[in-house]
């Protein structure tokens, strides 16, 4: 699902997995809004995606291949919801 909107279009929360890719495809084909950027969350200590443990460099390669800007939100390991939400709002 889109995380928010920006002046350049929707911002899609991006884990790099198949469901994120499917969401991107559906939005491209069914939404009048364009995707402006991807947003992924990584663990500060490891630079790996919080959901799958994928190395950030692979997510960066995906964003490059999709020709979309990538925003990276770094969080501590196993952050409580209030920390996660505060960083998401920043």
pLDDT tens, position by position, 8-51: 689 999 999 999 999 999 998 988 888 999 999 999 999 999 98
**Contact criterion met (CB below 8 Å) for 38 and 27:** no
Q: CA 87, CA 75: separation in Å to the nearest integer?
A: 8
pLDDT at 55: 98
Copy the structure tokens of residue 40.
């992924």
Measured in Å, how far apart are the chain's first and last C-alpha atoms? 19
Give the structural domain span for 80. Answer: 2-89
pLDDT-derived band at 4, boundaries 50, 70, 90 = low
Instruction: Report the number of distinct structural domains present in the chain.
Output: 1
Of 10, 81, 7, nearest to 41 (Cα)?
81
At 27, which CATH number?
A: 3.40.50.620
């Amino acid at each position: 699902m889109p995380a928010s909107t920006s002046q350049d279009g929707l911002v899609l929360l991006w884990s790099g997995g198949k469901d994120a890719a499917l969401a991107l495809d559906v939005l491209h084909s069914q939404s009048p809004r364009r995707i402006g950027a991807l947003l992924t969350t990584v663990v500060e200590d490891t630079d790996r995606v919080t959901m799958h443990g994928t190395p950030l460099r692979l997510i960066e390669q995906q964003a490059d291949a999709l020709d979309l800007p990538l925003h990276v939100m770094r969080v501590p390991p196993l952050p409580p919801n209030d920390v996660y939400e505060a960083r998401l709002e920043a």
